Amino acid sequence: MAHSPVAVQVPGMQNNIADPEELFTKLERIGKGSFGEVFKGIDNRTQQVVAIKIIDLEEAEDEIEDIQQEITVLSQCDSSYVTKYYGSYLKDHRISRHLKVQQIEMLLHNGKLWLGSKLWIIMEYLGGGSALDLLRAGPFDEFQIATMLKEILKGLDYLHSEKKIHRDIKAANVLLSEQGDVKLADFGVAGQLTDTQIKRNTFVGTPFWMAPEVIQQSAYDSKADIWSLGITAIELAKGEPPNSDMHPMRVLFLIPKNNPPTLVGDFTKSFKEFIDACLNKDPSFRPTAKELLKHKFIVKNSKKTSYLTELIDRFKRWKAEGHSDDESDSEGSDSESTSRENNTHPEWSFTTVRKKPDPKKLQNGAVSDESS
């Protein structure tokens, strides 16, 4: 017997009746991200192009905390280096409403999800794709890498000044506008520090990019993002993070145990020194984002962001030539995974994890049968 939908009473919601299907014109699907499908859309009131993330709340029950966290963090951010959040709407078969952040928190926190309801999250549209998308068409040169890293560092400098930790820095979560602007995205596992809580110890992130202290669940702060940035720099140079041919659970075992990765190959000394500075196993010796903006690799090699449009144009040509039959998972506003993550090792995961694996499943760094 079918159950009737039960409305969750959220203060003030009744005064915010608004149907997102009337306010926005949904265009083509541009990806599938952290918690649902993402569409390119038009704000019918302003004709502004936006990204529309549509989440089935029943199906996304396990990701509710991440959805709430991303909306909360993005609503607090005001930076040209962070993906902009425009608002959220609850849509179901009876009535639709525009939700304030506090109302979203109450709705999701209660756990009494409306049967058949969908959450529309409206965000900035970034049509250049993710940095990982752009890597699929070929390697970056050091000028392009330095330019991209400079913009990522500006985003991290802003977040860290606001006592926020991204905790999932990687190329897939770096998005570009069609003009080459670079922005940080995917804040589902971001953390907030306070005057009284100056460290965190939660195990979250993507294994290949995770700092040793995060894996060990030691107290950590914004310096964990600097480690992930160093791994991302290697990813931008080589097309993949270190140890990408290994099972993620083995990588989690090896990162705290082994010496930090280094950049191998025909790269400049200053680039290798930049990465070495980021990948110091002692977080207290890692530079801050502000300090890294002054590193000679960044200062001498970075250019205006319009320089990155060459990469965007190259990727468009690459797709037009038929190299990619799979739909890109770049969302235009948020990118959780890519075709490389989904297809290269289908039995492995390059996506974000939020719970540390059972150490009993690791046998000298090898994955036991039941966890394979």
CB 43 within 8 A of CB 24: yes
Q: Quick one: 162 and 210 in the same domain?
A: yes
CB 334 within 8 A of CB 185: yes
Last residue of a domain, one of 77, 98, 124: 124
**Considering the domain boundaries, does residue 66 fall inside one?**
yes
Q: What is the CATH number of the domain that holds 95?
A: 3.30.200.20
**Structure confidence at residue 42 (pLDDT):** 97
User: Which band of pLDDT confidence, cut at 50, 70 and 90, is reported for residue 333?
Assistant: very low
Q: Quick one: 256 and 151 in the same domain?
A: yes
Query: Please, where are the H alpha helices in the chain?
Result: 20-23, 64-76, 101-110, 131-135, 142-161, 212-215, 223-238, 248-257, 269-278, 289-292, 296-301, 309-320, 339-343
Last residue of a domain, one of 91, 124, 157: 124
Distance from C-alpha of 239 to C-alpha of 346, rounded to nearest angstrom = 18
DSSP per-residue string spanning 105-126: HHHHHH--PPTT-EEEEEEE--
Listed in sequence order, the residues at least 6 apart from 137 whose beta carbon sits closer than 8 Å to its beta carbon are 311, 314, 315, 317, 318, 319, 323
- Taking only the tens place, the pLDDT of each residue in 37-58 is 899 999 999 999 999 999 887 7
**Considering the domain boundaries, does residue 6 fall inside one?**
no
Q: Quick one: 282 and 158 in the same domain?
A: yes
Binding positions for ATP are 53
Closest CA to 151 of 187, 123, 179, 184: 184
Comparing 34-48, 259-273, 324-338, the range with the smallest average pLDDT is 324-338
Q: Quick one: 38 and 55 in the same domain?
A: yes
Comparing 45-49, 227-231, 261-265, 350-354, the range with the smallest average pLDDT is 350-354
pLDDT of 343 above 70 = no
**Considering the domain boundaries, does residue 1 fall inside one?**
no
Q: Quick one: 119 and 151 in the same domain?
A: no
Q: Which token pair is 240?
A: 């993949």
Q: What is the CATH number of the domain that holds 183?
A: 1.10.510.10
User: Which band of pLDDT confidence, cut at 50, 70 and 90, is reported for residue 190?
Assistant: confident
**Structure confidence at residue 331 (pLDDT):** 47
- Taking only the tens place, the pLDDT of each residue in 131-148 is 999 999 999 999 999 999
Structural domain boundaries enclosing 34:
13-124
**Considering the domain boundaries, does residue 158 fall inside one?**
yes
Q: Quick one: 237 and 341 in the same domain?
A: yes
Q: Is 168 a catalytic residue?
A: yes
Distance from C-alpha of 12 to C-alpha of 4, rounded to nearest angstrom = 23
**Considering the domain boundaries, does residue 7 fall inside one?**
no
Q: Quick one: 195 and 54 in the same domain?
A: no
**Considering the domain boundaries, does residue 238 fall inside one?**
yes
Q: Quick one: 150 and 92 in the same domain?
A: no
The more confident residue out of 335 and 260 is 260
Q: Quick one: 172 and 114 in the same domain?
A: no
Number of domains in the chain: 2
pLDDT of 100 above 70 = no
**Considering the domain boundaries, does residue 64 fall inside one?**
yes
User: Which band of pLDDT confidence, cut at 50, 70 and 90, is reported for residue 187?
Assistant: confident
Active-site position among 168, 221, 225, 334: 168
What is the mean predicted confidence (pLDDT) over 65-92? 88
Range 171-210 burial, b when 16+ CB lie within 10 A, else e: bbbbbbbbebbbbbbbbbbbbebeeeeeebeebbbbbbbb
Q: Quick one: 31 and 142 in the same domain?
A: no
Listed in sequence order, the residues at least 6 apart from 4 whose beta carbon sits closer than 8 Å to its beta carbon are none
Q: Quick one: 55 and 140 in the same domain?
A: no
What is the mean predicted confidence (pLDDT) over 313-338? 66
Last residue of a domain, one of 73, 95, 124: 124
**Considering the domain boundaries, does residue 365 fall inside one?**
no
Q: Quick one: 55 and 141 in the same domain?
A: no
**Structure confidence at residue 356 (pLDDT):** 59
pLDDT of 11 above 80 = no
pLDDT of 114 above 90 = no
